[in-house]
Chain A
Amino acid sequence: MIRFILIQNRAGKTRLAKWYMQFDDDEKQKLIEEVHAVVTVRDAKHTNFVEFRNFKIVYRRYAGLYFCICVDVSDNNLACLEAIHNFVEVLNEYFHNVCELDLVFNFYKVYTVVDEMFLAGEIRETSQTKVIQQLLMLQNLE
């Protein structure tokens, strides 16, 4: 099960934080900082997996952004990695060549994308076309 999803830039600014476990605010901030500390020190030669408390973090870096998913130790690392990539591809399609600023100014849309693809800590939809379709429908409602 996914415990949380984080998107951070290299400076540690949060671009998205989705929690599937209940933490209080201080704990959330602490986690964000810890993840940042753990992830940014690793370079391309390192694995994309880090053991983290009782969980593990699967992360991937796209340009200046780190996409991190925190999952149970027993979960499949590679599947999570693919889920991240899938998510990024959807973002790219949805924002047409996504960049960090897109995520900053449309952060609520990013949350919508996350909600379309993940729910309650599980991967909900993996088909990119379906997700994009839903997103466009939602957009039309507003």
Chain B
Amino acid sequence: MALKRVKGSIDRIFDKSLQDLVRGIRNHKSNEAHYVSLCVDEIKVELKQENVAVKANAVNKLIYLQMLGYDISWAAFNIIEVMSSPKFTFKRIGYLAASQCFHSETDVLMLTTNMIRKDLGSQNFFDAGIALNGLSCFITPDLARDLANDILALMTSSRPYTRKRAVLISYKIFLCYPEALRPAFPRLKEKLEDPDPGVQSAAVNVICELARKNPKNYLSLAPVFFKLMTSSTNNWVLIKIIKLFGALTPLEPRLGKKLIEPLTNLIHNTSAMSLLYECINTVVQVLISFTSGMQDHGSSIQLCVQKLRILIEDSDQNLKYLGLLAMSRILKTHPKAVQAHKDLILQCLDDKDESIRLRALDLLFGMVSKKNLMEIVKKLMIHVAKADGSQYRDELISKIIEICCQNNFQYITNFEWYISVLIELTRIDGSSSHGGLISSQILDVAIRVKSIRQFAAHQMATLLENAHALMSQLHRNGMEEVLYAAAYICGEFAQFVESPDCLIHAMVRPRATTLPSHIQGVYLHNIMKLYAVALKRAEDTDDKGVGLTQSLQEKLPIFIQSSNLEVQERASCILTLLKYIEKLQNKGLFEVDEFSCLFKGELNPVAPKAQRKVPVPEGLDLDAWINDPPSSSEDEDAKEEQKMEYERSYNDFYSPTSEKRREYSQEELNKLREERMVEQANNPNYLMSKKAEGYMNPDEESEAGSINLDISVPLHVPGLPSSDRYFKMEQDRRRRQRAERVVKKKKAKRGKHGRKREEQEEPEEEEDIAPVHAVEIVNEEMPEGAVKTDSEDENPSFDPHKALDIDLDSPLTASEALPKPKHRESAKLIIQEPEKKEKPSKKKKHKKEKKHKKKHHSAPVESLLVDEVDVDRTVNGHQHQHVDQQDAVQVKKEKKEDDLSFWLNDSSEKVEEPVVNGVAVEDDKATQKSSKEKKRNKKAKKSKRKSPEVGETPPPSEPQIQMSRYTVLAENKDMRIEFETRCIPRQEKKITVSCVFSNLSSSFIKTIEFNVLDTLNTRLIRDGGNLSHDAVQIPFSLPPSARNECQLEFTASSVTMPQRLKGTITYMVQDDTKQHTNQEKLDFKLHLPCSAYLMSTPLSSDRFTKLLSSGEVTDKASYQFNNTDMSLESMLQKLCFYIKFAVVEQIGNSASLYSSSIQKHHVCLLVKSVGNGISIDGKSDNSSLLSNIMDEVKMVGKT
């Protein structure tokens, strides 16, 4: 033995220390992985040694490796070994390793519960400290549940060091185990007034974190926090509290009113930027929460904006960034205040840091008005031109467009200007992704603003004629997308195009074939529209358009060669049509009007969601089969056949020798085309939606036809307007308008003088800027009867904080007590489902309770709160000066209202009092004050101690669920027991009986024992090999009118017969005086029906039919309910709920149901409603089970 020890220590000399490992890794930079794998092998050997020191050293090395990214999860068990070492040094290493590499899926964590509990309770408070540290990193729901009580106990530890940690970690506990929040909350609240400031701040941290997610539950704490805010000097805490208020104010505007003053004081006085920033944020939040017009808070806004301006002007980039961020918050509600600083924000666009520039852009977005839109966009255009980095440029372009089109083009007064801006954007060099965006904007404007169509058509025609300028950049950017819009606009509004023939010629240039195919498609289609107009105009000339027809026929064949089907098809259609027209023209029979009516009718914009909003007509079931569903057996063959057939016909149709195409006569062709045109015209998706074009494969062409073009084309196209020109024009126009207005105003009567002055304060009312054109913005079409829903696209996501949305004001019930370690197993059972099920009913009760409680107990709480009102009113820092004078006043007011609203409402009245009382009085009473205050504090503590006790009086306990499987097992004057049976998945012979014990008496009930007389078939499972007649201890006692649930397990060897078990419950009733206890007894009969062994098992209809046809289920039984008024639906509901069937399929007025027993018996039911009755046929593989189930069905049907 001694030898072994010596050998061990000699070995240790050769072990690598941590230092060696670190140094070694640094020396093996080239083959680190190899070196590490060697080290890991060594470590594995070390871990096998018995010496804890060696193990700890090995684990320490592992931590380092883990940090470098190597997997050490294989050592989880060794880490636990080291954690359990009694020596602090090793324990620390173990916990550190655990906190670094354990996570909720680490299965060995299950082993640690007791060890952690031991460490938490350790004498050495450092042990508790490291245990808490570690736990904060690897906590799991299981650990949280099992250790919640211990942590809660640590919150009252005598050492601030431990208290603080316990408080902080409680947040993690709540997250993992929300049920702990309510029982722990009173204690957490106490910690807000802990003597140690560190603990206080920890509690503030935790509550802030909780409240941020579910603020409404913490509103009642506002007075406490208010007091803390006015008394604390710790900026870290202040920041948290102020942030918390920021979350609370939206819920309670009166709170904001109270906050404004102290916050503005802080803003004026603090030198800490972080605090200043937080204050501004919360003030902004407060101001947002005010409904407009209620008060004038211009001064606070001004203050905030001024301070933010200082931040933005600061050379520190961080402050600049945050300033802009906060500005954007103000902007939402007070745009005017921010707009004054436009210059500053425009400056920020030049900043080096992209995040600052992007923030500034965001701000500009909200700052635009009719007045400054053009100016801002002009500045942005300059930035686009000189922006470096394509990402930022993209962002700029999309922002410009966003700014202009926001709110349905609200701020645009001159659409000609907007169109020219868009055209200018197409000429920006090197932008990549916004061609589509610009294109859709142009389309949108042209279609929806009727008065701009002529202008747009002109511009687009120019653009098309100069398409080479755009296409020269073709392979670098996506700007050719704009040609799509251009072609469409020119075609659709062809009547405005000056010379359609020239345009047509421009469009059929061979170069057009290098465009993406979906654009070519649109080209072709719109050439036809232009052609129609051109013919119409040529009607009076000698030519009559024959020349055009001919030249078109010459040019079009290049499109027929396109590899894109769509283009090919359109081109060949058009060509055929042209040939036909030429024939007619030569004969002199051609009617232009007939031809142009092909393109009659106007297209209206359709709202993007319109299709989805079309209401489903009554009587239309979209899920129903139109034809009979294909039978499953022949499925494969049929499909195969179909496929063959399809292929054959496909080949027939498309084979080059096919004659089919010629089978259509020209007239038919015409007709077909007309139909298609009409259909396309009526089809909103045809032009607007990207999706519809998906099949055209936009990118296909761009590669195939890559032609190197000379780039020396001037980018500025003569004849295209410059947006600057419009900007200047607009300026002039406005100047003129203003002059006119001034003249008018002078003429105006003086009667409205007062109102006018208000207007003049803000120079130039926005509404006064009249748009250049009479703009009629057409709204997007929506189907009739569409319902407006904005939140359609929200998809619910998982949020752990939702679970923490718990009403904290309602009193605690006994069932909510945290599980105690003693009864761990039974406690576990209690926590499961039943809690959740009862919740809805419980909550209601809590609310009632709450109101009730407020009436009775608000008085003591109030006096507490009123003190704080005074505290904040004193400005001099003598915070408790006026308290005693106030007492008298308070007493009178006390009973008026409930606490919080009282605190919030009466502040204004209070203000006057201290002023009246004056300073002289204060000094006299300075000595008395302290003693009185102490008294009050005592009072306060008492009332606080009371509140949790009050909380424990639980609500009366009738279950209010409408359908409940719980049935009364036994009842007497003291107690009622209800029970429900549950099956345990994958347990063939066990079921659980869940009993709810309700204390009906006013005394304490304890030592409850439960016993039944086992039968041969059914036995109660007793723990730890207890004899078959021993009673089972129920692991809880019941305070007056409390209820709790306990689960007992039974074995059943056969499940085909119902069982009745005789049993007794014994319990002790404690007198109110706590001196006598009486033993009482309650007999019962536990009825376990066959349905207790059934598990609702979902089954597909296929498998159901298979089962029925397999011959397995041979036993039959049936029953008919005559003259029953129960509907099929409610029958099914009852069967599913009480007898645990699952509906397999419901067709018309019959339904098939299925369930299986825990021993895998099948039970099938067919439920049909016949006349005014319901017939039920059952099938099963066990006749006795079936007949018993049918008996139950009868019972259920009759109740």
Q: CB within 8 A of A108: which of B93, B239, B273?
A: B93
Number of interface residues of A (CB under 8 A): 52
- Give the interface centre of A13, A15, A142 by most chain B CB atoms within 10 Å: A142
- Given A13-B68, A107-B67, A138-B126, A124 contacting B165 (CB threshold 8 A): yes
Among A62-70, A75-83, A88-96, the stretch in contact with B: A75-83
Determine how close the nearest CB of chain A comes to the CB of B229; give it in whole angstroms: 15
Q: Which chain A residues lie closer than 8 Å to B169 at the CB level? A: 119-120
- Contact check, B205 vs A123: say whether CB atoms are below 8 A apart: yes
CA distance A15 to B202 in the complex (A): 28
CA distance A81 to B243 in the complex (A): 17
Q: Which chain A residues lie closer than 8 Å to B320 at the CB level? A: 47
Q: CB within 8 A of B318: which of A16, A23, A47?
A: A47
User: Smallest CB-CB separation from B71: which chain A residue?
Assistant: A25
- Contact check, B103 vs A23: say whether CB atoms are below 8 A apart: yes
CB of A45 within 8 A of chain B? Answer: yes
Q: Which chain A residues lie closer than 8 Å to B100 at the CB level? A: 17, 19
- Contact check, A74 vs B69: say whether CB atoms are below 8 A apart: no
CB of A51 within 8 A of chain B? Answer: yes
CB of A1 within 8 A of chain B? Answer: yes
Determine how close the nearest CB of chain A comes to the CB of B739; give it in whole angstroms: 46
Determine how close the nearest CB of chain A comes to the CB of B823; give it in whole angstroms: 28
Q: Which chain B residues lie closer than 8 Å to A77 at the CB level? A: 274, 277, 318, 322
- Contact check, A78 vs B277: say whether CB atoms are below 8 A apart: yes
Q: Which chain B residues lie closer than 8 Å to A108 at the CB level? A: 18, 60, 63, 93, 96
Q: Which chain B residues lie closer than 8 Å to A25 at the CB level? A: 69, 71, 73, 101
Mark contacts of B617-644 with chain A using CB atoms, 8 A cut-off: 1 yes-contact digit, 0 otherwise: 0000000000000000000000000000
CB of A129 within 8 A of chain B? Answer: no
User: Smallest CB-CB separation from B97: which chain A residue?
Assistant: A108
Q: Which chain A residues lie closer than 8 Å to B71 at the CB level? A: 25
Q: Which chain B residues lie closer than 8 Å to A126 at the CB level? A: 234, 236
Which residues of B231-246 are within 8 A (CB) of A?
Answer: 234, 236, 239, 243
Q: Which chain A residues lie closer than 8 Å to B64 at the CB level? A: 107
- Contact check, B136 vs A120: say whether CB atoms are below 8 A apart: yes
Determine how close the nearest CB of chain A comes to the CB of B1065; give it in whole angstroms: 44
Q: Which chain B residues lie closer than 8 Å to A14 at the CB level? A: 67-69
Number of interface residues of B (CB under 8 A): 59
Determine how close the nearest CB of chain B comes to the CB of A84; give it in whole angstroms: 12
CB of A20 within 8 A of chain B? Answer: yes
Which residues of B149-181 are within 8 A (CB) of A?
Answer: 161, 164-165, 168-169, 171-172
- Please report whether the interface of chain A is mostly helix, strand, loop or mixed according to DSSP: mixed
Q: Which chain A residues lie closer than 8 Å to B322 at the CB level? A: 49, 77-78
Q: Which chain B residues lie closer than 8 Å to A78 at the CB level? A: 273-274, 277, 318, 322
CB of A132 within 8 A of chain B? Answer: no
CB of A104 within 8 A of chain B? Answer: yes
Determine how close the nearest CB of chain B comes to the CB of A101; give it in whole angstroms: 9
CB of B133 within 8 A of chain A? Answer: yes
Determine how close the nearest CB of chain A comes to the CB of B247; give it in whole angstroms: 9
CA distance A74 to B209 in the complex (A): 11
User: Smallest CB-CB separation from B25: which chain A residue?
Assistant: A104
CB of B682 within 8 A of chain A? Answer: no
CB of B355 within 8 A of chain A? Answer: yes
- Contact check, B69 vs A29: say whether CB atoms are below 8 A apart: yes
- Contact check, B136 vs A119: say whether CB atoms are below 8 A apart: yes
User: Smallest CB-CB separation from B103: which chain A residue?
Assistant: A22
CB of B137 within 8 A of chain A? Answer: yes
Q: Which chain A residues lie closer than 8 Å to B137 at the CB level? A: 18-20
CB of A122 within 8 A of chain B? Answer: yes
Q: Which chain B residues lie closer than 8 Å to A42 at the CB level? A: 353
User: Smallest CB-CB separation from A16: which chain B residue?
Assistant: B67
Q: Which chain A residues lie closer than 8 Å to B318 at the CB level? A: 47-49, 77-78, 81
CA distance A112 to B100 in the complex (A): 12
CA distance A91 to B677 in the complex (A): 77
Which residues of A110-141 are within 8 A (CB) of B?
Answer: 111-112, 115, 119-126, 130, 134, 137-138, 141
CA distance A20 to B239 in the complex (A): 21
CA distance A134 to B67 in the complex (A): 25
- Contact check, B353 vs A46: say whether CB atoms are below 8 A apart: yes
Q: Which chain A residues lie closer than 8 Å to B291 at the CB level? A: none
Q: Which chain A residues lie closer than 8 Å to B103 at the CB level? A: 22-24
Q: CB within 8 A of B355: which of A32, A50, A111, A119?
A: A50
CA distance A74 to B213 in the complex (A): 11
- Contact check, B88 vs A142: say whether CB atoms are below 8 A apart: yes
Q: Which chain B residues lie closer than 8 Å to A50 at the CB level? A: 355
- Contact check, A122 vs B63: say whether CB atoms are below 8 A apart: no
User: Smallest CB-CB separation from A28: which chain B residue?
Assistant: B69
Q: Which chain B residues lie closer than 8 Å to A76 at the CB level? A: 239, 243, 274, 277-278
Determine how close the nearest CB of chain B comes to the CB of A27; give it in whole angstroms: 10
- Give the interface centre of B60, B88, B353 by most chain A CB atoms within 10 Å: B353
Determine how close the nearest CB of chain B comes to the CB of A46; give it in whole angstroms: 5
Mark contacts of B573-603 with chain A using CB atoms, 8 A cut-off: 1 yes-contact digit, 0 otherwise: 0000000000000000000000000000000
Q: CB within 8 A of A22: which of B68, B104, B321?
A: B104
- Contact check, A120 vs B168: say whether CB atoms are below 8 A apart: yes
User: Smallest CB-CB separation from A119: which chain B residue?
Assistant: B168
CA distance A58 to B1188 in the complex (A): 69
- Given A29-B69, A78-B274, A47 contacting B353 (CB threshold 8 A): yes
- Given A45-B317, A138-B126, A141-B126, A74 contacting B198 (CB threshold 8 A): no
CA distance A126 to B69 in the complex (A): 30
Which residues of B714-765 are within 8 A (CB) of A?
Answer: none
CB of B772 within 8 A of chain A? Answer: no
Which residues of B99-129 are within 8 A (CB) of A?
Answer: 100-101, 103-105, 126
CB of B22 within 8 A of chain A? Answer: yes
Q: Which chain B residues lie closer than 8 Å to A137 at the CB level? A: 126
User: Smallest CB-CB separation from B67: which chain A residue?
Assistant: A14
CB of B1163 within 8 A of chain A? Answer: no
- Contact check, A142 vs B89: say whether CB atoms are below 8 A apart: yes
CA distance A50 to B317 in the complex (A): 12
CA distance A134 to B92 in the complex (A): 15
- Contact check, B205 vs A122: say whether CB atoms are below 8 A apart: yes
User: Smallest CB-CB separation from B198: which chain A residue?
Assistant: A125
CA distance A124 to B167 in the complex (A): 10
Mark contacts of B817-828 with chain A using CB atoms, 8 A cut-off: 1 yes-contact digit, 0 otherwise: 000000000000
CA distance A115 to B137 in the complex (A): 11
Q: Which chain A residues lie closer than 8 Å to B205 at the CB level? A: 122-123
Determine how close the nearest CB of chain A comes to the CB of B358; give it in whole angstroms: 9
- Give the interface centre of A115, A119, A120 by most chain B CB atoms within 10 Å: A120
Determine how close the nearest CB of chain A comes to the CB of B533; give it in whole angstroms: 52
Q: Which chain B residues lie closer than 8 Å to A130 at the CB level? A: 198
- Contact check, A74 vs B136: say whether CB atoms are below 8 A apart: no
Which residues of B297-334 are within 8 A (CB) of A?
Answer: 317-318, 320-322
Determine how close the nearest CB of chain B comes to the CB of A1; give it in whole angstroms: 6
Q: Which chain A residues lie closer than 8 Å to B126 at the CB level? A: 137-138, 141
Determine how close the nearest CB of chain B comes to the CB of A21; give it in whole angstroms: 9
User: Smallest CB-CB separation from B276: which chain A residue?
Assistant: A78
- Give the interface centre of B68, B69, B321 by most chain A CB atoms within 10 Å: B69
What are 25 A-B residue pairs whose CB atoms fall within 8 Å in the complex? A13-B68, A14-B67, A22-B104, A23-B103, A24-B105, A46-B353, A47-B353, A47-B355, A48-B317, A48-B318, A76-B277, A77-B322, A78-B273, A79-B278, A104-B22, A119-B165, A119-B168, A120-B171, A121-B136, A122-B202, A122-B209, A123-B205, A124-B164, A137-B126, A142-B92
Chain B interface (Cβ within 8 Å of chain A)? Answer: 18-19, 22, 26, 60, 63-64, 67-69, 71, 73, 88-89, 92-93, 96, 100-101, 103-105, 126, 130, 132-133, 136-138, 161, 164-165, 168-169, 171-172, 198, 202, 205-206, 209, 212, 234, 236, 239, 243, 273-274, 277-278, 317-318, 320-322, 352-353, 355-356
Give 14 new A-B contacts, CB below 8 A, not counting A25-B69, A25-B71, A122-B205: A13-B68, A22-B103, A25-B101, A29-B69, A45-B353, A51-B355, A76-B277, A77-B277, A119-B133, A124-B165, A124-B198, A126-B234, A137-B126, A142-B89
Give me the 4 closest cross-chain CB pairs, A-B, nearest first: A78-B274, A120-B136, A122-B205, A47-B321
